[in-house]
Each structure stands twice: as structure tokens, then as C-alpha cells.
Structure 1
Amino acid sequence: MKKAAGIVAAGHPVTARAATEILRAGGNAFDAALAAMFAGCVAEPVLASLGGGGFLTARTAGAKPLLYDFFAQTPHGRPVESELDFYPIVADFGTAQQEFHIGMGSIATPGAIKGAFAIHRDLCRMPLREIIQPACEAARSGVRLNSFQHYIAEIVSPIIQSSPQALQLHASSRKPGAIAELDETVCNPAMADGFEILALEGEDLFYQGEMGRQLTSDCHARGGCLTRTDLESYRVARRSPLTLNYHNSQLFTNPPPAIGGILIAFTLALLEQEKLGRYPVNSADHLGRIGHAMRLTQQLRNDRELGSGPAINIEHEILSSEFIESYREVMRNHKGFSRGTTQISIADSEGNLASMTLSNGEGSGYVLPGCGIMLNNMLGEEDINPHGFNQWPLNRRIASMMSPSLVITPDGDTIAVGSGGSNRIRSAILQVLVNLIDFGMEIEQAVEQPRMHFESDLLNIEAGPSTHAIQALRKEFADIRCWPDKNLFFGGAHSVMRKRNGQLSGSGDSRRGGVCYRV
């Protein structure tokens, strides 16, 4: 039998196929991750864009993992609020509504392009012009709008319809001026042109050249914050991942200044002594303990105002045995308890592992002319602006919940996992890890298990647990919302695993249209 070249889990068939095409051509996991990144911008335009940012946790075979931080940065200066193009829209999720702010004044300094080139220089072996070809072909020939992408386009339709250029990225060929309908094919040749000129001329075209000058000129003229200084000074950060031992498995995740990784590590540290594997899956004992740990983690985030200021060395304090034990004591006494992102996970036959999470927020509505790149709205995201809008600290990485993670089990198996889903990212990753490590589930079962999320005194639970389990939980949680089905609200934890013997498995999370392809 021919040895598999690799396995890919991602949020769209076009995204995953781009990665598999590169693996078949002899690329490694990181070549494939970049191919998926560019293809995701074409096939998942609400969730991914070169106008946003993200993170990659990378492990080359036998080496220590390394975290690439290419997330968005706040500008060097804060214009007068009355001069900003910055306004609210309402996204309707059906079961809930959420307000976002868009416009030129919502754009933070993007890092995706710089990140792609840094990853390519450090880890890849194929020319970038070859890596981007699957994405370029998809952009020119078109991508059929599937049910999930159609659903999220409807959710953020006020952003898509905020400008003719934004609408063009989602335009119907049948009805001029309308968003494409289900099963329509959407072409974006300008995006392919943009990819190709970037591959030819390099990242300086955006950060110091013509693309960047167009962006900063439009920001100056139309109420934005970005200047040439913001673009020219942007740097990709390479960090040692935050590391935690959980039941003898090693977790490597996103360290501060991002906050998602430390919150996942804190929750797992609370749960380690609970030995969840001794309880039936989806029982009140299982779910209640996770719910209480989530509640304490939310309390920690609020009490310590994580994400509101510098997080230098805070992980050493929060994950210290004394600090954890003080919260475990609360766990032992239950009566004492008073958005747009996508994930790419890849393993190759050589033992390389890539976990990449990308985000454009929901998008600002502004599209860079001639290249199909919608810029982010990170300065308009309430979740990551805890000080309030237009109160952000100057020239600082925006604190993110994104947590692309790697796991090495005691048996030598390796796992790449991450998720989209705003504040639900940490909950999704946490529960996949518990399912894999505590309950010994296969990866597809671990990803597809019902999930829960605690926030703002509300425990959200997907369909699956019994009525008896829910009734028991209501004695501990005053406010519970039971969701009738799986929902994108609970994230999209596309994950892959490489066994020590080389066997590959994976799962694309059905909540976000995920697919998994083996090469």
C-alpha cells in the first residue's frame, strides 16, 4: 500500500483540496497550509482574507513547536472619533443577534501577508507562485456557494452590502446587485491577480509599496486610522508556545499576548484532577464539571481583565500550582459559584504538523481596489476591544482568542487542533481535547460530540445530552439555553492526528462546513 502523503482538515472543500494538491506535488505540511490559507480567502471570504491576520503553530518533525503570530496590530495614532468612518451593523444568527462595527475606522494593521511570507521563508520548500496556483484557479473558475458559506453570507449581509466592492466578492451572476444564491458559482479574478502580483513582487508591495499606499491614502481620505508608519513597522512575531502537561499529554498553544491559549490551559489545569473519563459521556457529572471550569475561567478573565493590558509573564502566575489550587478549591464546592475565523490543520508523512487559525473579523466593508482583498474590522470587534471602541492602546498586538494548538500524547501520537468561533474558540478546543485525552475517542467522534459554552452567566448546550442530565445541570446553572441542533456558534474545530506508526486520521467539523481529505 502506498504511504499517505498527508491529511488535511479545513472549513471548505476548495480550501482542503488546495492543500492536498500541494502535498501530492511534493510539498510539506507548511507548503500545504499556505495553499489552504490562500484558497480559504477565495472559498471562505467571510472568514479569511489577506486583509486580516492569524496564527500558525508549527512543528517540524522531531523539533520543538514554534508559534507564528501574524495577527492584527492597533495603529500608532488614534484619530478624533468624530472623524472616523465607524458605524454599527447587526448580524442575525437566527437564535441570537450580535452588533459589529465596520467602516474604514474599524481597520487594524493586517498581518496575513507578512505572515505568509515569513512562514514561506522559514518552513516551506516549494515556490510561492506554485503554492498559490490552486487558489488562483479557484478564484478565476469560480467556487460554488455551498449551504454553510451561503448561511454565513446571509448573517453578515449588511457588511457585504455596505459597498459595491464588498458585494462584488459575493455577487450573484443571475441577479445584479444581489448576493449570490445557494449553488451559484462566484468568480473573483481580481483576487487571483492580487495573489499573483504578491507572489511576484513580495510582501513589500503591501507594506511599503503600491498596495499599501492605496490603503493608507483611502484611510486618510475616508475616515480610517492606518498610516504608512503602521504598515512599514509591522513585524511577524515568532514565539515559544505556551506548554501544559495534561494527563501526560503535552499541549502547545498560543501564548500571551493572545489570551485564548492561557484560558484553555487554565481550564484544563482545573479539570485534570476531576478525571472526567470515569463518568459517562454527556452525563451531568461530565458536563457539570466542564461547565463549572468554564465559569471559573470566565471569572478569571473578568477579574484579571485578560486582554485589557500587557500580559507579560502572566502565564507563570496563572498556571502556578498555588494559583490553580485556589480555583480547584472552588471547583470542589459547587455551591460557592454565584466570529469570523477559520481553522486549517495538516499533518504530512514526514511528521510535520501545522495548525493555523485565520480571521478577518467580519470584514470592514472596504476592499483594496484591483486585488479583491477585504480589510479586517478588528477595531470594531467588541470581544477584542474590552476598553471600548476607539480606546485601544496604541501600536499593540490585539489580544486574540485564536489558539491553534498541537498535542503530543504519551504514546507519541501528534494532534493539530484549533477552531474558529470568537469567544467560543477556547470552549471548542477544550472539549475536543477532553474527548480525545480523557475519553479516548477517535478524532471524528471527538470533534462531532455535542458542545457547551459558558459566558455572561449563560450556559449554552448543543442537542445531545439527555433530559435528565439537563435537569441536573439546571440545579447548578441558573440560566441554560438548549440549542436544537449543532451550530456554527460552537466553533469549527477542524483537526488531524498522526499516530506514532504514521497512520493519519482527521475530521472537518460539520458545524462550519468542515471537510477532511487524506492524500
Structure 2
Amino acid sequence: MKANKHPIAAATGHRLTTQAAYDVLSAGGTAVDACIAAALMACVVEPVLAGPMGGGFLMLAPLHGAPRVLDGFVQTPRRRIPGDVQQVEADFGDTTQIFHIGAGTVATPGLIPMLFEAHARAGKTPMRELAQPAIETARNGHVVTTLQAEVAQIAAPILTADPRTQQRFGTAERIMQAGDTLTAPDLADVLEVLAIEGPRLFTEGEVAQALLSLDGTVLTADDLRRYAPKWRDPLQMTRRGWQVSLTPSPSIGGAQIALMLDALPDQVTPALLHLAQIELLNLREKSDTTLRFDPTLAAELRKTLARHDARLRGTTHISVTDQQGLGAALTLSNGTGAGMIVPGTGIMPNNMLGEEDLLPAGPGSWEQDIRLASAMCPISLRAPDGSITMMGSGGSSRIRTALSQTALHLIDGMALEQAILAPRLHLDTLNGPVAAEPAEERWYDAIRALPADLNLWPDRAMYFGGVHAVRRSPRGQIEAVADPRRDGFAQT
């Protein structure tokens, strides 16, 4: 940790994403400005994890005052019409998984309206300046990192479902690989016009019309035009004097993390972490629990789970703090992508209406005109000394375990870097194995004693999420840590 003449910090999942945020902060931009620049850059250099036609959540926490959450997640269509849904199978080596893609899986996107709403509330740098780094990078190209290539390989059946999609994410012969230079000139043009025309381009203008032109879409002009991001009060709880602010319903991530933080004792053991995850997974079916879960939180979570579960695969996170002490944490997702390119834009839209994790009853089981639930959960933690930590994570269902375990370590007194690097333990399904990272002998022995099969990973892995965090003390000391599991890059 160090004092900084200009107390700014940024932590994200890519060097260029962090640089875009940091440059805005250095020029006097707000935390919201930095998140916007970083989000647009992420859509360029983290293209499988983020997209302009996805959704997200933004947590804002001033140095003095109450945090607020801006919900920019996707919305289901206002009416039900037949749509084109295709099935593809991804091979993960020891298992395969079915994905649903196609125009009929695209939910009403919310990311761009959310970014412009946040800018109207707490931005000051002109949008043209915020978009320029992403525009230049999309037009001139960037070198694909090892992590982004690995993500592309996992999503290969989706990225190769259509020749135009494969061309966008590589070449006619293969999808992008580490060391390739990837350009997106159509996306550069779209971002350039977006910075001038504003969100109407995506809600009513040429990009909106291009999205609606996809054969088999279930979206209408009314869905796009009437979408509105929503400001919400965060879900708040305390633990050992720490004030923790999380995403509220209809997100399930905040309630899950709050229940764990509220019920678990100090200095938790692997056995207690395992028990807490079992009981969280059981909450949909049963009300009696061994751990003392807050009944109000548990009831709210059950209500949301009764409508849909939520685990997103294609997700990334941005954390920043600006010179005025405003902290911002933005988590954004494009699902796994719909496997097609919106004509003339270079954009692969989301496939949220085809995500089995969001819709356990299958594609087409969505309720009309509602926000889908999400596991994404940007967090603000205010320590008893007034320090504020902003953090979040990608990682699908591992978001809840990555963030809850990092928060537990922080509150128990670990330094920020130690808390993020600490080994993680995750239970994905009730009857599945416990996934765990390597750890010291005492911790490993405790994991081996759990009443479950063990899947011990050889090293820290992308599977366990990527927690990117910044911290600012009342005296202006700044710290930023980005998770190496997801190629994180931090700058102060």
C-alpha cells in the first residue's frame, strides 16, 4: 500500500482495460467515467466475456454517503413469439455441455443504456473521449492474450456456429489464438457513432434495427425502446463492524453472499464453507438449516430462485476509485453469446434466453417482461476505520464463493492481496465433487476430510473466478489488486 499524490486506482481482467480506466482517472475523470472507458475496452479486448449487447450491474460508493446500485441487466421480451433456437455441444474433455444459441435466445440488452445513465448521473468526461481508446484498439487491433484464447477455445462451438462469427473472432480457418492480432473495424465504427448519438443508437437507431433484422429474433422495437436501467438500494449487512453492500433482488448473488457472511463464524474452516454451500444449494427445497441463516434474506432468495436460477459463464469485472474518493465496481456479461453477428456491427449479442442456468426449464420458459436474475455481484465493503474496498468477480456460479471467501478473509484481517490469492473451495451441485485449490497442509487435510468427493486443482485456476479489487483509506492511501487467475492487471 502506498500514499498517492493523486489517489486513483483501477483493477480489471486485462491490461488494456485497466489502462483505459487509469488514463481517464489520471485526467481527472470520475470513477463512472473510468468504468465506461474500461467497459467499452473490455468489449474489444475481452470479446467473449463482454459485449455491448449484454448486461451488467454497477455499484457506486462515495467516500461519505450511502452506496447505490445501477441495474443494467437484461430483460425478457414483452410478448412471446416463436424464435430461432439452436443447440450446440461444448467438449470440456471429461464432460460435455449443451448450449443454446440463435436469434431466439437474445434478451433485451441493458449495458449501453446503463453506461449512459451512469454517465448522466456521475460522469463528466465527454463520451467521445471515453470511447476513443476502445475505438482505436478495435480499429488498429490488439494482441490476443493466453487467457482470452483459452476462453475462446471453451466457447469454440458458439464462435464457429456461423462463418461470420468465426471471422469476427479469428479467421475463416480458426478462432483466435494467443499472439494473434484481432481487429474489429465494424465495432470501432459503431462505438464512434455511439459516442456521438448516445444510447438511442442501440434502442431505436441503426444498431437497434440491425438487431431486430436477425431471422428468428423474439425481440421487438418496443422491447428495445422501453428498456430502462434501474437505480436500486443495495442489499446491506454488517459483519464485525464492516458494512457490506451487495446487489439486491432480482439478483441472487448478493443474497447468497450475505447469507454466508451472516451465518459463518470467524476464521471459517473448510467444513463450514462446505456446509454453507450445501445449505445455500438446498434453500430452494427446504427451510430448515443447520446454519442460522437470516430468515428474511433466505425468504427473499427462495422467492427469486422459484422463478429462475442464475449462473453466467461469460463475465468480467472492473473496480476503480477516483480522486474524489468515489469507488465504482462494474460486473458485466454477455452470457456465452448467441453465436451470430448483428449485421454491420461486429457485435455478438447475448444468449441469456437460452442459458439453462438462468432458465432451468429450458429455452422459452422465461416469464414476459421481467429482469432475469443474475449471480453477478459488485460489492462495497466499508471497514470500521472508514476504508472502502470495491470488488467483484467473474466466474459463473463461482462468483458467490470467490467473493464470499475473499470478503471473509478481509474481515478476518487478511491483507487485500492475501485475501484474493487465498485458496478457494467451491461446490457447484449438491451431489457433485468439491472443487478446491492447493493450499497449506493443514487446510488440505481439512478438505480431504470433507464428506464428499474431492476435485483438487493443481494450481490457482480461472475456474474459481477472478476477484479484482481497489481500496481507499480515509487518508487517501490506495491499493489495487487484480486476480492472476483471470489475467488481472492493477494500477495505482
Q: TM-score, normalised by structure 2?
A: 0.92
- Work out whether residues 452 and 459 of structure 1, in 8 Å CA contact, stay in contact via their aligned partners in 2: no
Corresponding residue for 1:341?
A: 315
Distance 2:68 2:476 in 1: 22
Alignment of 1:324-335 (within 5 A): none
Instruction: Give the match for residue 39 of structure 1.
Output: 41
Deviates more, 1:380-389 or 1:229-238: 380-389
Amino acid at match of 1:230: D
Does 1:292 find its partner at 2:302? no
SS of the aligned residue for 2:490 comes to strand
Paired letter, 2:225: E
TM alignment of 1:337-376, pairs within 5 A: 339-376=313-350
| Residue type at the aligned position of 2:111 | A
Structure 1 residues 479 and 485: CA distance shift in structure 2, 3 A: same
Q: Deviations over 1:347-381 (max 9, x none)?
A: 12321100100000011012222222210000111
The aligned counterpart of 1:7 is 9
Summarize deviations over 1:453-477 as a string: whole Å, max 9, x none. Answer: 1121234333323566445445442
- Take 2:294 and 2:213, find their aligned partners in 1: how far apart are those partners? 40
Q: Is structure 2 residue 268 aligned with structure 1 residue 266? A: no
Matches for 1:64-103 after TM superposition, within 5 Å: 64-80=66-82, 84-94=83-93, 96-103=95-102
- Equivalent of residue 196 in structure 1, options 166, 180, 192: 192
SS in 1 for 2:231: strand
| 1:275 match | 266
Structure 1 counterpart of 2:124: 125
Contact 1:462–1:486 (8 Å) recurs in 2: no
The alpha-carbon deviation at position 423 of structure 1 amounts to 1.0
Q: Distance in 2 between matches of 1:94 and 1:18?
A: 36
> Which residue of structure 2 aligns with residue 27 of structure 1?
29
Give the letter for the 1:396 counterpart.
I
Q: Deviations over 1:442-494 (max 9, x none)?
A: 21111111111112123433332356644544544222221222221111111
Q: Which amino acid aligns with 2:244?
A: L
Could you give the per-residue CA deviations for residues 253-273 of structure 1, whole angstroms, max 9, x where no partner exists?
A: 1000111100100111111xx
Aligned to 2:65: 63
CA distance in 2, matches of 1:42, 1:516: 19
- Structure 2: how far apart are the matches of 1:426 and 1:161? 31
**Does the CA contact (< 8 Å) of 2:58 and 2:330 recur in 1?**
yes
SS at match of 2:165: helix
Tell me the equivalent position of 1:154: 153
Shift of 1:50: 0.6
More deviation in 472-481 or 372-381? Answer: 472-481
C-alpha distance in 2, partners of 1:403/1:294? 17
How many aligned residue pairs are there?
472
Residues 386 and 135 of structure 1: CA distance in aligned 2, closer, same or farther (over 3 Å): same
2:405 maps to amino acid: Q
Are positions 1:226 and 2:226 aligned together? no
Q: Distance in 2 between matches of 1:250 and 1:386?
A: 34
Q: State the Cα distance separating 1:236 from its structure 2 match.
A: 0.5
- Residues 44-101 of structure 1, C-alpha deviations (whole Å, 9 max, x = no match): 0000001100000012331211100000011112224xxx321222334446543221
Superposed CA deviations along residues 287-317 of structure 1, whole A, max 9, x for unmatched, are 111111111111114548xxxxxxxxx9972
- The one-letter code matched in structure 2 to 1:179 is I
Q: Aligned residue for 2:308? A: none
The residue that corresponds to 1:516 in the other structure is 490
Alignment counterpart, residue 426 of structure 2, candidates 453, 459, 467: 453
| Counterpart position of 1:443 | 416
Q: Residue 329 of structure 1 corresponds to which residue in structure 2?
A: none
> How far apart in 2 are the matches of 1:75 and 1:394?
6
Partners of 2:443 and 2:295 in 1: CA distance: 36
Q: CA–CA distance in 2 between the matches of 1:375 and 1:257?
A: 22
On the 8 A contact 2:63/2:474 being kept in 1, the answer is no
Separation (CA, whole Å) in 2 of partners of 1:459 and 1:410? 37
Q: Which residue of 1 aligns with 2:375?
A: 401
> 1:432 & 1:64 partners in 2: Cα distance?
22
Q: 2:248 is matched with which residue: 255, 261, 264? A: 255
Deviation string 1:18-54 (CA, Å, 9 cap, x unpaired) is 1111112211111101000000000000000011000
Matched residues in 1 for 2:42 and 2:91: separation? 23
1:185-236: per-residue Cα shift (whole Å, max 9, x none)? 1111211110111111111122122221221132xxx222111111111111
Q: Distance in 1 between matches of 2:442 and 2:245?
A: 36
Tell me which of 191, 206, 211 is aligned to 2:207: 211
- CA distance in 2 between counterparts of 1:472 and 1:464 reads 12
Distance 1:475 1:182, change over 3 A: closer
- In 1, the alpha carbon distance for the partners of 2:196 and 2:76 equals 28
Whether the 8 Å CA contact 1:53–1:360 is kept in 2: the answer is yes
Q: Secondary structure at the match of 1:368?
A: coil
Pair 1:469–1:25, CA change in 2 (3 A): closer
2:244 is paired with a residue whose SS is strand
Partner-residue secondary structure (3-state), 2:245: strand
Gaps of 5+ in 1: 277-284, 305-313, 324-338
What RMSD over aligned residues (CA atoms) do the two structures have, in Å? 2.0
**Are the counterparts in 2 of residues 46 and 362 from structure 1 also a CA contact under 8 Å?**
yes
CA distance in 1, matches of 2:120, 2:183: 30
For residues 368-517 of structure 1, the aligned pairs below 5 Å read 368-438=342-412, 440-457=413-430, 458-466=432-440, 469-517=443-491
Q: For 1:476 and 1:499, how far apart are their aligned partners in 2?
A: 39
What secondary structure sits across from 2:467 in the alignment? Answer: coil
User: 1:249, 1:91 → 2: CA distance?
Assistant: 42
Mean CA deviation greater in 208-217 or 28-37:
208-217
Question: What CA distance in whole angstroms lies between the structure 2 residues aligned with 1:92 and 1:254?
Answer: 33
Query: Take 1:126 and 1:383, find their aligned partners in 2: how far apart are those partners?
Result: 38
Q: Which amino acid aligns with 1:382?
A: E
- The answer (yes or no) to whether the contact 1:140–1:192 under 8 Å persists in 2 is yes
* Paired residues of 2:141 and 2:181 also in contact (CA < 8 A): yes
Assess, with a 3 A threshold, how the Cα gap between structure 1 residues 501 and 185 changes in structure 2: closer, same or farther. same
1:134 — aligned with what? 133
Q: 1:318 aligns with which of 297, 300, 303?
A: 297
AA at the equivalent of 2:6:
A
1:388 deviates by: 2.7
Describe the shift of the 1:502–1:186 C-alpha distance in structure 2 as closer, same or farther (beyond 3 A).
same
Unaligned stretches of 5+ in structure 2? 288-292, 303-312
CA distance in 1, matches of 2:233, 2:51: 26
